[in-house]
């Protein structure tokens, strides 16, 4: 027996996650692989989050708080906004998909960019919408080109800020002028998965912009700097009417008890955030120095990964690194994305990368 799958769904290419360390260890007979492929926090989960898990697990026989009240209240307090502007999601991945389901009908358009986070296109296509792709210009979001691509069928624009995989940011004025051009029927989703790593003063304060009634949805996650990727929890900030509509679409218990409790603890763990930022800054500096020495073009990143032009076939370099137990991300052509790790991991990457790049056969 076979079922008929909608051609648009059948055509979706599956998400390719970073290779798991265990798999690479098995495949290449390596004792310890180093995963610098998924922009996770190599420092680990917030210790404050870990310390409440045992206690929190005593209520696992009960359903979670479907409303996520305690966590939403803490986020609201941190952001200085009312609770009715917050929604929790099973990772911000779920919120991306919820947003598509909430505001798009089949046949509607969403404007996205490339290379950028691949989930936008998948979510739009899965909702039988059209993903209109406006390529990056000089590795940055081209918001004027995106504004030009808006039609009466456009419902959503996704802006990944900082952008995964390039690490570039859209500045305040750029975003503001884009928002001013938005017609009433378009919502702009700004994905700030790496926002906590940003240091440029030009980074837009999206919560302030939202208070000025711009049609903005902000997506954030506990998967990156907070180190809770395995628990699956993120949050969205939008106007109360958008949040209300998204709440109608989401499943009632989309975030679990442990994730809510751990996220609440992690949110208050300023030491862990600070240590993560410091580790990231030091690691990026080492990577930049090496790329500079090797004469490889790279982009200064506002996130916890670096995008580099290997000037060779990137897939070949990626595979050669795997044999050294180093897992990075091949993006396209010569481009690789390398997550900043702990100092020991960064050293292993640097050693392997030097060796690989000195191999003439590549
Ligand atoms: C990692 C990442 C996310 C977060 O995904 P979760 O579902 O919250 O784990 C969202 N957006 C971008 C751009 C990312 O890189």
What local confidence, expressed as pLDDT, does residue 16 receive?
Answer: 80
pLDDT category at 359 given cuts 50, 70, 90 is confident
Length of the chain measured in residues = 362
How many other CB atoms are there within 10 angstroms of residue 113's CB atom? 26
Interval 24-66: pLDDT, tens:
899 888 888 999 999 999 999 999 999 999 999 999 999 999 9
**For a pocket test of ligand 1, which of 164, 231, 263 has the largest count of ligand atoms closer than 8 A to its C-beta?**
164
Domain boundaries 7-44+271-357, corresponding CATH code: 3.90.1150.10
What local confidence, expressed as pLDDT, does residue 18 receive?
Answer: 81
pLDDT category at 256 given cuts 50, 70, 90 is very high
> Separation of 159 CA from ligand 1 center, angstroms?
13
Residue keyed to tokens 């020495």:
293
Q: What is the DSSP string of 16-56?
A: -PPPPHHHHHHHHT-S--EE-SS---TT-S-HHHHHHHHHH
- Dihedral of the alpha carbons of 286, 289, 290, 291, in degrees to the nearest 10: 120
Residue nearest to atom 3 of ligand 1 (CA): 193
**Which residue, among 193, 188, 238, has the nearest Cα to 93 in the 3D structure?**
193
C-alpha distance across the termini of the chain, in Å: 47
What local confidence, expressed as pLDDT, does residue 362 receive?
Answer: 66
**For a pocket test of ligand 1, which of 120, 223, 228 has the largest count of ligand atoms closer than 8 A to its C-beta?**
223
The answer on pLDDT for 1 being more than 80 is: no
What local confidence, expressed as pLDDT, does residue 360 receive?
Answer: 76
Whole-angstrom Cα distance, residue 32 to residue 25?
A: 6
Interval 105-157: pLDDT, tens:
999 999 999 999 999 999 999 999 999 999 999 999 999 999 999 999 999 99
Omega prior to 162 cis, within 30 of 0: yes
pLDDT average, residue stretch 14-19: 82
> Separation of 92 CA from ligand 1 center, angstroms?
6
Q: What are residue 4's phi and psi, to 5 degrees?
A: -90, 120
What local confidence, expressed as pLDDT, does residue 270 receive?
Answer: 97
Instruction: Write down the domain spans for the chain.
Output: 7-44+271-357, 61-267
Are β-strands 109-114 and 130-135 bridged in parallel, bridged antiparallel, or unpaired? Answer: parallel
pLDDT category at 15 given cuts 50, 70, 90 is confident
Interval 223-241: pLDDT, tens:
999 999 999 999 999 999 9
> Separation of 234 CA from ligand 1 center, angstroms?
8
Q: Is 222 helix (H, G, I), strand (E, B) or coil?
A: coil
In the DSSP assignment, the letter for residue 108 is -
Residue nearest to atom 14 of ligand 1 (CA): 193
> Separation of 164 CA from ligand 1 center, angstroms?
9
Tell me the pTM. Answer: 0.96
The answer on pLDDT for 361 being more than 80 is: no
Asked if residues 113 and 134 have their Cβ atoms less than 8 Å apart, the reply is: yes
Residue 223, token pair as written in the block: 């998967």
Mean of per-residue pLDDT scores for the chain: 96
Whole-angstrom Cα distance, residue 42 to residue 67?
A: 31
> Separation of 291 CA from ligand 1 center, angstroms?
26
Omega prior to 272 cis, within 30 of 0: no
Classify 346 in phi/psi space as left (phi over 0), alpha (psi -120 to 50) or beta: alpha
Domain boundaries 61-267, corresponding CATH code: 3.40.640.10
The answer on pLDDT for 103 being more than 80 is: yes
pLDDT category at 169 given cuts 50, 70, 90 is very high
Gyration radius from the chain CA atoms: 21
């Amino acid at each position: 027996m076979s079922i008929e799958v909608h051609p648009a769904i059948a055509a979706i290419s599956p998400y390719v996650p970073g290779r798991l360390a265990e798999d690479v260890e098995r495949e290449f007979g390596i004792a310890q692989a180093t995963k610098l492929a998924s922009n996770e926090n190599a420092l680990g989960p917030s210790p404050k989050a870990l310390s409440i898990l045992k206690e929190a697990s005593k209520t696992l026989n009960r359903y979670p708080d479907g409303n996520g009240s305690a966590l939403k209240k803490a986020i609201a307090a941190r952001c200085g906004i009312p609770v009715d502007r917050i929604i929790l999601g099973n990772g911000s991945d779920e919120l991306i998909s919820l947003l598509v389901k909430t505001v798009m009908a089949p046949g509607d358009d969403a404007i996205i960019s490339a290379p950028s986070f691949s989930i936008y296109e998948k979510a739009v296509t899965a909702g039988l919408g059209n993903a209109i792709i406006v390529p990056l210009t000089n590795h940055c979001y081209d918001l004027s080109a995106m504004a030009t691509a808006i039609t009466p069928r456009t419902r959503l624009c996704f802006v990944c800020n900082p952008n995964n995989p390039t690490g570039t940011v859209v500045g305040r004025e750029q975003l503001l002028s884009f928002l001013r051009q938005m017609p009433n029927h378009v919502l702009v989703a700004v994905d700030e998965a790496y926002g906590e790593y940003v240091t440029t003063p030009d980074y837009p304060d999206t919560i302030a912009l939202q208070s000025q009634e711009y049609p903005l949805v902000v997506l954030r996650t506990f998967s990156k700097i907070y180190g809770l990727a395995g628990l699956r929890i993120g949050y969205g900030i939008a106007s109360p009417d958008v949040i209300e509509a998204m709440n109608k679409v989401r499943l009632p218990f989309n975030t679990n008890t442990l994730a809510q409790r751990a996220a609440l603890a992690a949110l208050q763990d300023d030491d862990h955030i600070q240590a993560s930022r410091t580790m990231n800054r030091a690691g990026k500096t080492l990577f930049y120095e090496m790329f500079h020495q090797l004469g490889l073009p790279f982009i200064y990143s506002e996130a916890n990964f670096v995008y580099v032009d290997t000037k060779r076939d990137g897939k070949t370099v990626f595979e050669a690194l795997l044999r050294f137990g180093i897992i990075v991300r091949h993006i396209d052509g010569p481009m690789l994305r390398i997550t900043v790790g702990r100092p020991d991991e960064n050293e292993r990457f640097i050693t392997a990368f030097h060796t690989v790049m000195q191999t003439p056969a590549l």
